[in-house]
């Protein structure tokens, strides 16, 4: 089992920055792929960014150039640096992990992930 605990959410104005953190506890060998998802009210959960155990990354088009995902293996901590935030980035952000993803195109699909954190709210005002 893996437990994921997020932190770092908050309220910022448009153009501002936030850094989210996610600490993994337990069987961290099951976290070969770690990702950030977000879900706004009334919308489906969408993949934002993913990083694998070889530090390869993939981003949703909507955040490319603004968000950076990174992993500190020594601390079992996943980060999401979010810059140039927009009101449309407002959502609950979730950390997720899984030992394996079968296809590249499934990297940012929520159904690929076994473990989830409780979420941290990000609100961006205009």
**pLDDT, tens digit, 9 for 90 and up, residues 16-41:** 999 999 999 988 777 899 999 999 99
pLDDT by residue, tens only, the chain of 126 residues: 899 999 999 999 999 999 999 999 988 777 899 999 999 999 999 999 999 999 999 999 999 999 999 999 999 999 999 999 999 999 999 999 999 988 888 999 999 999 999 999 999 999
**Can you tell me whether residue 73 is helix, strand or coil?**
helix
Q: How far is CA 23 from the centre of its chain?
A: 12
Question: Do residues 114 and 102 touch, judged by C-beta distance below 8 A?
Answer: no
């Amino acid at each position: 089992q893996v437990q994921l605990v997020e932190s770092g959410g908050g309220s910022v104005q448009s153009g501002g920055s936030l850094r989210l953190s996610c600490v993994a506890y337990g069987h961290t060998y099951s976290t070969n792929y770690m990702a950030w998802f977000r879900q706004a009210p009334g919308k489906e959960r969408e993949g934002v960014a993913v990083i694998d155990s070889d530090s390869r990354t993939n981003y949703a088009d909507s955040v490319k150039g603004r968000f950076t995902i990174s992993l500190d293996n020594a601390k079992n901590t996943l980060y999401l640096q979010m810059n140039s935030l927009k009101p449309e980035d407002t959502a609950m952000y979730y950390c997720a992990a899984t030992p394996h993803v079968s296809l590249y195109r499934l990297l940012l699909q929520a159904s690929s992930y076994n473990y989830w954190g409780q979420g941290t709210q990000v609100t961006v005002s205009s």
